[in-house]
Amino acid sequence: MCGIVGYLGEQPAFPLIIKGLKRLEYRGYDSAGVAVIDTKGSLTHHRKKGKVDDLLAHVGDDVPTGHLGIGHTRWATHGPPNDVNAHPHLSGDGQLALIHNGIIENYHALKETLIARGHSFYSDTDTEVLVHLIAEVMKSSEELDLFEATRVALNEVVGAYAIAVVDIARPDELILARKSSPLVIGIGECEYFVASDATPIIEYTKNVVYLEDEEVARVSLSAGLKIRTIKNHRVTPVITELEMALESIEKGGYEHFMLKEIHEQPKSIADCLRGRLRLGHGTIRMAGIDDHESMWTEAKRLIIVACGTSWHAGLVAEYMFEDFVRIPVEVEYASEFRYRNPVLGEGDILIAISQSGETADTLAAIRMAKERGAHVFGICNVVGSSISRESDSGAYTHAGPEIGVASTKAFTAQLTVLALVAMRVGQLRGTMDPQQLNRLMVGLDGVPEKVEALLKKESDFKAIAEAYKAAPNALFLGRGYNFPVALEGALKLKEISYIHAEGYPAAEMKHGPIALIDENMPVFIVATQDAHYEKVLSNIQEVKARGGKIIAVVTAGDTEVARMADHTIEVLPAQDALVPILSTIPFQLLSYHIAVMLDRNVDQPRNLAKSVTVE
């Protein structure tokens, strides 16, 4: 949550920072601000409640000049979203400006100490405490410059931070630090870019340095990049080359990123399969598994941790691993798991699933699992993200940047990677016979084309969306592999349309939710021809008997459900384990169109952020 951007170089900083903030707005969008220092050492500072465009309107023609600047787009934690709590925050004497992504957990104790030393505060934020703390350390010893003072001050801090700090006395220097929140430094020709992820940097340079936990960096036009740990050990920067393409982070003619990302799914699934699915050889190649073969063949148990949509992918994987590998599997919310005292150790493999690779709870869960001796296998979309770097091994989903807050193509890519992992492990452990494996491989190979066919039915989705856009509530049902699809369908609808929706295993309906059904209740149900088909037909009858409206996702050619349902959406036939990759797409598109019809902010729904880097 929160996006941070910084620039030091020869170009005017302000336009670069604004452009970068717009790229990072998916991380938080309740207020935004900038601070720019010009060569004469004067600081211009603007902050505004609302989006980056509101900040721009507020700045108007009074555009700050200068070649050093920092900017922030906020997702509020401490204090409501308003102008005063927006970043950057200034030290009491106005000499330092600081932006922050994360939470300073001991801010209250630090604040009390600073107040006792004469500091006063204007905001409710933990960030303001941090900038005062650095100023206090600088004041306490004239020997300490901003870099050293930041390093020393961070030793007092408990919590998560990615920060950028500037000092009006040093218009040639930008200080950065991180712990548990991401920070990337782009290295150009006589210029440096800083951001929470690489998207604001990619059009200027491909050379980046990912700052590690508890590292503090100084970038200076005269002295270059220097990194030390907060304990004062020297670190040699490692430059990585970015592989991301600029087009992948633009809308490409679509009205919203979410729609673009839904339509990218045939390609993102194919990208995820490329080089891994080796049909000609009758095998699957996944370096993250093959390089640790004995660990997978000897593993006693799998524990899957994730949040939100990624957790739903984990639930689908539970069915896959049980079917293909015959191994015990537990699927846990990372936020619960990290605070339990789980029985965990050597012989366990913890699979962490995360699109962003930065979700604070998932990161904490993998750290706990590593401490207890489990092997951590990370499934992430963002290359170079914290979870991908801290995992012992893993696999990228290769879905490309996902900007819309509602996860779509990352989810289907997660399902695809998880199918590949389960199939490969089943192959290695001998729990899948070659024919079964081959059939599934052929099935997976055909998925992108089936998704393509589904996406051509856009007008059908719009008509159904029109019919149910005014519903105050909705129920999503599914069984077996499609139970998590029901959960995901409900999450999609509620997060972007703000319609209350519940996802349930279809058979659980009669244990409570059936009381909600009347003629105003749309029931979205996956009724594909799988192992549970007959049972789902009975569940549809139960809904119809109570007047509920049925919108069913069915296998192409099905006439039985069509006789009972108010609307059907056909998906092409696929093996049970692969159906979720298809059956989830109608729910993505229905949610999208309902949200558009209700005039919601589809890409940046209220109160949400793409990357949840606070717990």
Q: Residue numbers of the site for ligand M6R (CB under 6 A)?
A: 307-310, 354-356, 359, 362, 405-407, 491, 495, 608, 611-612
As a whole number of angstroms, the distance between CA 118 and CA 111 comes to 11
Q: CB nearest ligand M6R: which residue?
A: 308
CB of 154 to ligand M6R, least distance (A): 26
- CB-wise, 133 or 399, nearer to ligand M6R? 399
Can you read off the two tokens belonging to residue 231? 């304990």
- CB-wise, 69 or 384, nearer to ligand M6R? 384
CB of 191 to ligand M6R, least distance (A): 30
Active site residues: 2, 610
- CB-wise, 102 or 308, nearer to ligand M6R? 308
As a whole number of angstroms, the distance between CA 44 and CA 511 comes to 61
Segment holding 365, helix H or strand E: helix 360-371
As a whole number of angstroms, the distance between CA 25 and CA 1 comes to 10
CB of 357 to ligand M6R, least distance (A): 7
Give the chain's radius of gyration (CA, Å). Answer: 25
Burial class (CB in 10 A: 0-12, 13-18, 19+), 28: buried
> 583 with 528: CB under 8 angstroms?
yes
CB of 518 to ligand M6R, least distance (A): 29
Can you read off the two tokens belonging to residue 473? 């509530």
- CB-wise, 180 or 407, nearer to ligand M6R? 407
- CB-wise, 308 or 443, nearer to ligand M6R? 308
CB of 1 to ligand M6R, least distance (A): 10
**Smallest Cα–Cα separation from 98: which of 31, 40, 166?**
166
CB of 443 to ligand M6R, least distance (A): 25
Alpha helix positions (H), 25-106: 52-59
Q: What is the dihedral of CA 438, 442, 447, 448, to 10 degrees?
A: 130
Can you read off the two tokens belonging to residue 338? 């990290």
CB of 190 to ligand M6R, least distance (A): 35
- CB-wise, 310 or 539, nearer to ligand M6R? 310
As a whole number of angstroms, the distance between CA 81 and CA 411 comes to 30
- CB-wise, 86 or 487, nearer to ligand M6R? 487
Give the residue carrying structure tokens 């039985």: 560
Sign of the CA dihedral running 65, 49, 157, 18 = negative
Q: What are phi and psi of 285, to 5 degrees?
A: -115, 115
Can you read off the two tokens belonging to residue 328? 């015990």
Q: In what order do the strands lie in the sheet with 473-478?
A: 500-505, 473-478, 522-527, 549-555, 567-571
As a whole number of angstroms, the distance between CA 432 and CA 569 comes to 32
